Structure 1
């Protein structure tokens, strides 16, 4: 059986790169687990997945906190906020198919836009619950 966290990440990435509005903001399918060298300046990166036992007496389950980072070279907050809104529109409340697992729910916990040097970036966090099939 595959890892629930990995299956969740793969499904989330698939949903993100299938969204034309997000692709337009990023300039392509720039959603990565590991950012390749020479990647364009606007991208979304999976930075962490924290998994906890969420089982009940009768049923096994896992709770996942998935962190994403938005990186860019924009000097304005607006573009980073637009990317966060697009990611949220795709993933918040999404019903995704996971290999070997069932997604119970997926919700955005928060997003935060911040300045780093001369550019703006963002951090997003999602909470998901999964059960094995």
Structure 2
């Protein structure tokens, strides 16, 4: 069985990369698990993935908390807010194909836009539940 958390993260990343609104806001498909050297100043990054057993007496399941950060080179909140809204629009309630698993639900549970140094960024946290196929 493949890792439910990693399969979920890859499905989320694939959905984000495919979204034309997010791609336009980022200036390209800049959604990373590991940010490469020379990355553009504005991008989306998966920063943490926590997986917990969510099984019942009769069913196996997992709960995942996926953290995503928006990095922006803007001195205004607006780009970070717009990018965060686009990420939410793509992922909140999405019917993602997670290989080897059934996605029960995925919901945004936290969103914060904050100043980091001279520029603004954002932090989003999603909660998802999966069951193995």
* Common fold: TM-score over 0.5: yes
Give CA-to-partner distance per residue, 1:18-51, whole Å, 9 cap, x none.
1000000000000000000000011000000011
State the SS of the aligned residue for 1:111.
Answer: strand
Matched, 1:8 2:8: yes
Equivalent in the alignment of 1:127 = 127
Q: Pairwise mapping of residues 58-73 of structure 1 onto structure 2 (< 5 A)?
A: 58-73=58-73
Whole-angstrom distance in 1 between the partners of 2:37 and 2:2 = 28
Using the size of structure 2 for normalisation, the TM-score is 0.99
Whole-angstrom distance in 1 between the partners of 2:4 and 2:63 = 10
Q: Pairwise mapping of residues 1-133 of structure 1 onto structure 2 (< 5 A)?
A: 1-133=1-133
State the SS of the aligned residue for 1:75.
Answer: coil
4+ residue runs over 2 A deviation? none
Using the size of structure 1 for normalisation, the TM-score is 0.99
Q: CA RMSD in A?
A: 0.4
Whole-angstrom distance in 2 between the partners of 1:2 and 1:34 = 20
Unaligned ranges ≥5, structure 2 = none
1:77 Cα deviation after fit: 0.2
